[in-house]
Structure 1
């Protein structure tokens, strides 16, 4: 994870704190929005961490909540930090706004648990595999845009090589390995990269074989985010074609943790997974 929290984390921390302060004082969302001369929709997005808030607006809320220094100074500092640009801002022309939230949280997570049914996880994709996938989604994409998309994945992967990397646990449906992407050279390179990635201490890779039969993750792929103690940000991420769903309720997180644990129990061991993938690459 990053040495310092990203603007995304700061924004979500601040939003939760401001909501807590408002509710503790029995102030309605509309009452606080009117005080700021904004809409309830905008303030709701701020409290949910979906939108940054100006430090000047935080000062106004401190007045409404009757919060003085030094506590008010902490909130104002958080507002400034939440408005900073994350490393992914330089790629904003290639990614939708909703995916920026994912990148910010991914950069701060101490553990990522992912189940993928069709694609190799972005943190484990080679550049040429990534380009083949993107070209399939958007056939009209320019060469420059295609390269930028692949560069973004490579930038994301740098966090796995930091001195304090996150733990990455990935379960791949066997279908991912049985559906070649790109030509033989591209596909073999990707398979060999998976084998090498699985040898890292912070990466655990498992394959859920067809022989496992029905399993509890058949509805959709997902990613579980776990953050350092005190962040109170753990969440489940479920992506679709036009956006993403974030589940943060304890009951939802517990359900998906159970699902992930159960598919791990059905999956091949990391050693068996490495052997399977190596054989597939060798046979090409």
Structure 2
């Protein structure tokens, strides 16, 4: 089981996904400054309108040659154009999570990359302990119930969870993780009483870390907002906060919400969840009582 030690990787600066999003934002600003339409840029660069939109949204690989063409069209001179081309090269570097890409779909790989760049993560989980707080035995049990589960893929899934946790708890600039669980996630007997007892004890230990806040919404609350829809809000460091996003996962993929209205809505939902949940101190006591009962 993970021991939450401080022997964790140092902060390495923004990863390729965040760099790509930043570059796309800069290219969009340059286009708008010279009054060019997306269709104009697409025609000049020999690309489709969809491709330009995806480049500006940081949602696909941005080739250096395309950046050079767009800079020419927008009248961007050196050294700024050279800087943007170099940013494109850096944005295409493979992140630490690439070593696990054989064991996760593209949509989840994108999430892991952005998660590792987050300043804050606001996660709400209804039926399962949040992945960033799972012990290996708990994670292995869930990985094993997948229809296509094989021994190697199960082990790789567990290793990826641990690597994600290490990134969150890195020594320098750790991510501030705030997780709200429904009581159902605390009571579901995953892996048997012994595994569940250790999982609950781990949550208590994790809650001691200054960068981790854990709350529980007890059954006694009854109906409450977003009681049936798990989500994760990724909040980026200052200067990147206009890139905040909400991630909702399903069995066939994921949905990304990035419009200001969506961010505002889920921020309000999370605030309401915090209000109906037990306080962090009460939550720790509650989890401890559950562990003692097993």
Flag whether TM exceeds 0.5 (same fold). Answer: yes
Aligned positions, number = 283
CA–CA separation in structure 2 for the residues paired with 1:92 and 1:178: 32
Deviation at 1:18, TM superposition (A): 1.3
- CA deviations on 1:98-126 (whole Å, 9 max, x unpaired) are 11221111111111111111111111011
SS class of match (1:171): strand
Contact persistence 2:118–2:236 (CA under 8 A): yes
Runs of 4+ with >3 A deviation: none
Contact persistence 1:225–1:235 (CA under 8 A): yes
CA–CA separation in structure 1 for the residues paired with 2:246 and 2:160: 22
CA–CA separation in structure 1 for the residues paired with 2:109 and 2:166: 17
- CA deviations on 1:10-67 (whole Å, 9 max, x unpaired) are 1111112212222333323232222222222222222221101111111111111110
Counterpart for residue 278 of structure 1 = 288
Counterpart for residue 61 of structure 1 = 70
Q: 1:240-255 to 2 correspondence within 5 Å?
A: 240-255=250-265
Q: 2:217 aligns with which of 208, 223, 226?
A: 208
Q: Does 1:104 align with 2:143?
A: no
- CA deviations on 1:201-228 (whole Å, 9 max, x unpaired) are 1111000011112211125111122211
SS class of match (2:214): strand
Q: 2:124 aligns with which of 107, 115, 118?
A: 115
Counterpart for residue 257 of structure 1 = 267
Counterpart for residue 9 of structure 1 = 18
Contact persistence 1:10–1:78 (CA under 8 A): yes
CA–CA separation in structure 1 for the residues paired with 2:52 and 2:76: 19
Counterpart for residue 103 of structure 2 = 94
Contact persistence 2:126–2:228 (CA under 8 A): no
For normalisation by structure 2, the TM-score amounts to 0.92
Q: 1:51 aligns with which of 54, 60, 65?
A: 60
Q: 2:33 aligns with which of 24, 49, 65?
A: 24
Contact persistence 2:119–2:175 (CA under 8 A): yes
Q: 1:186 aligns with which of 183, 186, 195?
A: 195
Deviation at 1:131, TM superposition (A): 1.2
Deviation at 1:141, TM superposition (A): 1.3
Counterpart for residue 269 of structure 1 = 279
Q: 1:123-202 to 2 correspondence within 5 Å?
A: 123-136=132-145, 138-163=146-171, 164-202=173-211
Task: Specify every segment of 5 or more residues in structure 2 that has no aligned partner in the other structure, as ranges.
Answer: 1-9
For normalisation by structure 1, the TM-score amounts to 0.95
Task: Specify every segment of 5 or more residues in structure 1 that has no aligned partner in the other structure, as ranges.
Answer: none
Contact persistence 1:2–1:108 (CA under 8 A): no
Q: Does 1:77 align with 2:82?
A: no
